[in-house]
Amino acid sequence: MRAESFGGRIAGRIAAGAVVAALAVGAWAQTTQPASLVPPALSEAQKTRVNPVVTAYRKVQPAVVNISSQKLVQQTFGLFGGSDPFEDIFPSPLRRRVPVQSLGSGAIIHPGGYIVTNAHVVRRADKITVTLQDKTQYEAKVISADPRHDLAVLKVEPKAGHSLPYLPLGRSDDLMPGETVIAIGNPLGYANSLTTGVISALDRTLEFGEDVSYTGLIQTDAPINPGNSGGPLLNIHGEFIGINTAIRADAQNIGFAIPVDALARELPALLDFERINRLIFGAEVAQRHTEAGDMVFVTAVRAGTPAAQLLRTGDRVVQVDDRKVGQIVDYTCGMLDKRADQVVRLTLQRGGKDVAAAVRVKAKPRPNGKELAHRWFGMTLREVTPELARDLRLTVDRGLLVVGLEADGPAHRLGLKLGDVLFQVGQFYTLDLETLGTVLEDVRAGQVARIGIVRHNVRAWANIQAQAAPQTQTAPADAPAKRAKSGQQAR
């Protein structure tokens, strides 16, 4: 990977923007038997017309959600209305923030309210609303998003004592071209729409621009339209095998889905409880398909951590506390409940025998995000507040404002300007300096990170390379405020 120019080509690199949202964790329930996916009763006449597609749809539909996202864009309007003939000669200083809606789909993967969708579905949003089949609506928060794989995990908070219908993860390593598939989603706002087709091919690659590509995709001829993105692709048994993500706009019935096994691989990073909750545990896990079903195994144990003396590579995780672990979702969502000094009681299987392990997780010191941003990227940042956004006429009211740039530092060379707003680093939304510190603490000299920047109404992505040593010359930190007063703030 390489550092890239941000200025000059920014219009051509507009990405689906960032979600202004916070991290969230929630309750955990076991995901091995989704009793909530029991379909309603059929009449005798209906029973005569039931086929495998009907059965699959009825079983899965309650766990498919509609996602409505809202972003606020800043518009300039004339003194005499929107069609002011003098606007081209005398640009109006009047601006307003106008809401713009977009639609997508998602699948609930855990009864505690965890939802998987595409990163591009929610990346532009200031507000996200999730609607269930029964019309119940929840405001959702983004836990994590990974544009490299176009995956995001949202969190809604079910009512106390309630759990949500959900889809267990299927498998995508045994798919066959020609087998029937079912796509469910929210195309063009038509909720809970079903289309069918076949798998046309496997292991496809899509390239978007010079530095964004998705590999290993499922190609299908099941009709997929705008709004289907993020919804589940199912096999004929109603098993979750993929996440609908893209279509070829210049063709018909050429759609693509992310294999569900790719989601299973990325979930430990997307739901990294150690990073999110500032903990030290020390074990890494992965899901594997076996003849007996899905299982979760320890793949690595870091030396000097609480897990180092009790867990071994190759251990199978059978239970966390009193809840069974069958899939990676069970483990990752369960561990998100943990806090510093709590004891995690694991049941492991090692050499054919059950082994009990009680691991006390430790608190992880919080790094200084402001210092790390300056050290690695040569930029000084300030947290955006609604008041600051209003004073500087920013188009977002949360994020990290660039108020200083080292001369010839990584951020300066990339083309960042005073007044830009940093909203994401890697797959994590960095809306405050504390979160930024947790993301940057593992960065090393020469490492390349992908960042999201807001400049005026444009949200764009670029790669930035961490410097070996900090520079000394820094642009004045109060420059954005001064430019705002003179009407010359960078947009």
Which is catalytic among the residues 102, 105, 120, 330?
A: 120
What are the residues whose beta carbons fall under 8 Å from the beta carbon of 69, sequence distance 6 or more? 19, 101, 102, 103, 104, 121, 122, 124, 125, 127, 128, 129
Give the CA-trace dihedral at 17, 21, 27, 30, to 10 degrees: 0
The closest of 203, 63, 65, 209 to 147, measured between CA atoms, is: 209
150 is an active site residue: yes
- Cβ neighbours, 10 Å, residue 137: 13
Which is catalytic among the residues 102, 144, 229, 261?
A: 229
294 is an active site residue: no
What are the residues whose beta carbons fall under 8 Å from the beta carbon of 200, sequence distance 6 or more? 177, 219, 220, 221, 254
Tokens of 392: 């500087």
Which is catalytic among the residues 150, 261, 272, 315?
A: 150
110 is an active site residue: no
What are the residues whose beta carbons fall under 8 Å from the beta carbon of 484, sequence distance 6 or more? 391, 392, 393
Q: Nearest 5°: phi and psi at 218? A: -90, 130
The closest of 290, 301, 296, 300 to 332, measured between CA atoms, is: 296
Q: Nearest 5°: phi and psi at 142? A: -90, 120
| Residues with catalytic function | 120, 150, 229
